[in-house]
Structure 1
Amino acid sequence: MASNTNDIVKDLFPLIRVYKDGKVERLFGSQYVPPSQEDPITGISSKDIIISPGISARLYLPKITDPNKNLPILLYIHGGGFCIESAFSSDHHRHVNLLVSQANVIAVSVEYRLAPEHPLPAAYQDCWAALQWVASHVENSNIKREPWLINHGNFNKLYVGGDSAGANIVHNVVMRAGSENLFGDVKIFGAFLTQPYFWASSLTSKNSTDNLAESLANNIWMFVYPSAPKGFDNPMINPLADDAPSLSGLGCSRLLVNVAEKDILRDRAILYVEAVRKSGWKGEVELFQVEGKDHSFHIFNPDDEEAKNQMQIVASFLMY
C-alpha cells in the first residue's frame, strides 16, 4: 500500500521524503547501471566489489598500454546531499568513467551509506574505511587484496576527490588523514573538491536569490545529521567555524577546489580556499571557477563545453 501524502513527516522536495511508516522516497537521482567489462566509448573496464559490510565500491581501470607503469589511484566520493545518488548511478558512473579515461588513473568510487537510514557521521566513517582499505594494499594484510590495485596502482600518487556532498566528505577525510596515519604510512598526494557543500549559521553567499537552493542548503544538513554538535557551526559542514581544527592540518600535498559562478555554495568554497592559503598549510592550492554555471552542472551535462574544460582541469591535476 502506498504511503499517503498526509503522512509525510519530512519533505525535502525535490530530493527526498520521509513518511510516518518509515518509508523513504527518493525523488531525485539517476538510475542504477551495471559495470562494464570494456566501455564502448572510453574503453574503461569497471567492476563492483565489497569492501566491508555496508561499504562497497565500483572500480575503474583504463586500458593498460605499459604493464611496467603504475597508475595514480583516485578514491572518488559521489555527491547527492548525503541522502541520494550512488556510485552505481548512471550520472556518476558516466562521470567517473570519463574522468578515468582522460586522467589515466585507477578509480575506486565509494558506495557509502546514505541518510536518513544511516545519519551522519556514517558516510564519513565509510569513506575513511574505504581509504584505509585502499592504503592497506601496500602491506601483507589480512584483507582480500584487489588485483587491479596491486598490479597497476601507484600508492605514491593517491588522490581523493568528489563533488558537492562528496567534496565535503573529501575535506573531512583529508583533515583526518592529517592527524591519523593510513595503513603502511601511505600519504594522500592530492585532493580535489568540486563545488563542495560547506555552510554556516551566518549565510555569507552573494548568490542567495535562489530560495529553493538556499532552503535545501539550510535543511539538508540538519536532515542528514540531526545530532550534529553546534549544528551549522560543526567543523564538518563549516571548516571556518571558530573552533574548527586549523586547515594547516590538511593531510595532502596538493589541493584543487572547483566552483561554479551561479552556485549558491560558491562563496563558501572561495572563503575556504582563502582560509587554506592563510592557515600556514605547506601544500599547493588552486581555485578554478566556471562562469555562468550552477551547482553540479558537469554531472548533469558532461557534453557542455564548460564541463569539458573543468574535466580537463581535474584530469591535469591527477596527471601531475
Structure 2
Amino acid sequence: MDSTSTDKEVSSELLPFLRVYKDGSVERLTGSPIVPPSPEDPETGVSSKDITISEDPNITARIYLPKAQPDQKLPVLVYFHGGGFCFESAYSLVETKLMNSLVSEAKIVAISIEYRLAPEHPLPIPHEDCWAALNWVASHSSSSGVVVNNEPWLTTHGDFKRLFIGGDSAGANLAHYTLMRAGNESLHGDHADGGVVKILGAFQTHPYFWGSKPVGSETGVREEREKLAPFRVWEYLNPTASDGIDNVMVNPVGPGKPSLSMLGCSRLLVGVAQLDVLRERGIWYVNAVKESGFQGEVELVEVEGEDHAFHILKYESENASKMIKRLASFLLK
C-alpha cells in the first residue's frame, strides 16, 4: 500500500478490490504485478512487445508472436483481460503467462488489450475501447495499406480470415459485447479479394454475467445474492444503470434485449469452472445462445474441482495446462 494513502480521506470502497479517495485517486488492492514484455520468453520462446493503438483515447496493448514463424500467416487473437472492469492489466504477470502459453501452444499472433479501467473511466468506456481496438487490428487487413500506428507483426503475420476474440470473466463480458456489435456493424478492414473482415470464432472463459433472478442451481434470497461479488461490482460501478443488475450489459437475456442470434462469429466456446459462482450463468448463456437461433457452432467446456479464472491465477497447475491446450485446439480447428 502507498504510504501516503493513510493520510488521505476515503470517498468510497469496493473491497477487496479497490479504494477511491476524495482527491480522485484510486488505490487498487488486488491484481498481480506488472511485468515487462520479452524479446524471447525463456519458457516458451514467445516474443512480446508493448504498442500504442490510440493516443486519444489512450488505448495500448501487448502483442505476442510465437517462435520461428518467418513470413508465415497465423491466426489472430484479440484478447480482453478480466478484473471486474476495474483492476488487472494486459501487462500483469498472470496475463502475460497466459498469453505466452497460449501463443506458444496455438502458434498464433495474439494482442492483449489494455483498455481503460473503471471507475476513472466509467462503463461503457472499457467496452468502447475494446471495440476500437478490434477495429484497429482488423484495419491491418485493408488492401489500402493505410493504418494509423501500423503494427508490422500484424501486417506480416496476421491471417485475417482466421480472426478470433477471447476474454476471461469481465473480459468475456467485453467479448460478448464486441460480438454483438460485430453482428450489427462491419469491422474496419477488408481482404485482398474484397471480402470484409469477420470474426471467425470467440472464446469466453468464466463469463461475467448476472441478474436479479437465480438461474440453474443458483440459490439465495435477494439480500444474500446482493452480497456476492458479481452484484457488488456492478452496483458499485453502475449505480444508476437502467434496469440495475438486469441491464443488458450484465444480463444479456430477457424481454426487449437483442437476440443472441446476432452474435458476430461462426464458432463460440464458453468455459466454466465447477466451483465458480459464475458457473450457472455461463451454462445459462450457452443454452440461451443455442435457443436463440444462432447459426454457428456453440460448445461448453466445464472443468471440475476448479474455481474462477483458475487457468490464469494457477497457471502452473495441470488443469491450467489442459485448459490452455483446449483453447489452443479451438483456435486451430
What TM-score, normalized by structure 1, do the two folds share?
Answer: 0.95
> How much has 1:216 moved relative to structure 2?
1.4
Q: 2:49 aligns with which of 47, 50, 72?
A: 47
Aligned with 1:241: secondary structure?
coil
Distance 1:212 1:247, change over 3 A: closer
The within-5 A match list for 1:18-167 is 18-53=20-55, 54-65=58-69, 67=71, 69-139=72-142, 140-167=145-172
In 2, Cα distance between equivalents of 1:225 and 1:52: 26
Q: Structure 2 CA distance, aligned partners of 1:155 and 1:45?
A: 20
Counterpart AA for 1:44: V
1:309 corresponding residue in structure 2 = 322
Q: 2:265 & 2:106 partners in 1: Cα distance? A: 19
For residues 17-56 of structure 1, give each alpha carbon's deviation from its aligned partner in whole angstroms, at most 9, with x where no partner exists. Answer: 1122322110001111110001111000000000002100
Aligned equivalent of 2:12 = 10
Equivalent AA in structure 2 for residue 63 of structure 1: K
Root-mean-square deviation (CA, aligned residues, Å) is: 1.9
Are the counterparts in 2 of residues 121 and 225 from structure 1 also a CA contact under 8 Å?
A: no
> Aligned partners of 1:148 and 1:6: how far apart in 2?
45
Contact between 2:8 and 2:22, CA under 8 Å: does it hold in 1? no
Assess if the C-alpha contact under 8 Å between 1:207 and 1:263 holds in 2: no
Counterpart check, 1:190 vs 2:193? no
Tell me the amino acid that sits aligned with residue 170 of structure 2: A
SS in 2 for 1:18: strand
Residue 307 of structure 1 and its aligned partner are, at CA, apart by 1.4
Q: Which stretch shows the higher mean deviation, 247-256 or 217-226?
A: 217-226
Retained in 1: the 8 A contact 2:206–2:309?
A: yes
Whether 1:200 and 2:202 are equivalent positions in the alignment is: no
Mapped to 2, the partners of 1:220 and 1:131 lie a distance apart of 25
TM-score (norm 2): 0.91
Return the letter of the residue paired with 2:257. Answer: A
Map 1:171-320 to 2 at 5 A.
Answer: 171-184=176-189, 185-204=196-215, 206=217, 215-320=228-333
Q: Displacement, 1:58?
A: 0.3
Tell me, what secondary structure is at the counterpart of 2:19?
Answer: strand
Change over 3 Å in CA distance of 1:220–1:141 after alignment to 2 = same
Once the two structures are superposed, what CA deviation does each residue of 1:216-235 show, in whole Å capped at 9, x if it has no partner?
A: 11111122233422221111
Q: 2 CA distance for matches of 1:142 and 1:38?
A: 27
Alpha-carbon distance change, 6 to 88 in structure 1, aligned in 2, over 3 angstroms: closer
Aligned sequence identity (%): 53
Offset from partner CA, 1:46-90 (integer Å, 9 cap, x none): 0000000210000000013453x3100000100000000000011
Amino acid at match of 2:150: R
- Structure 1 residues 243, 38: CA separation in 2 closer, same or farther (over 3 Å shift)? same
Distance 1:258 1:28 in 2: 24
CA contact (8 A) 1:277 1:285 kept: yes
Separation in 1, partners of 2:159, 2:274:
35
CA positional deviation for 1:213: 9.7
**Residue 302 to residue 212, structure 1, CA distance change in 2 (3 Å):** farther
Structure 2: which amino acid aligns with 1:232? I
Which has the larger displacement, 280-289 or 219-228? 219-228
Structure 1's unaligned 5+ residue stretches are: none
What displacement does 1:214 show? 5.1
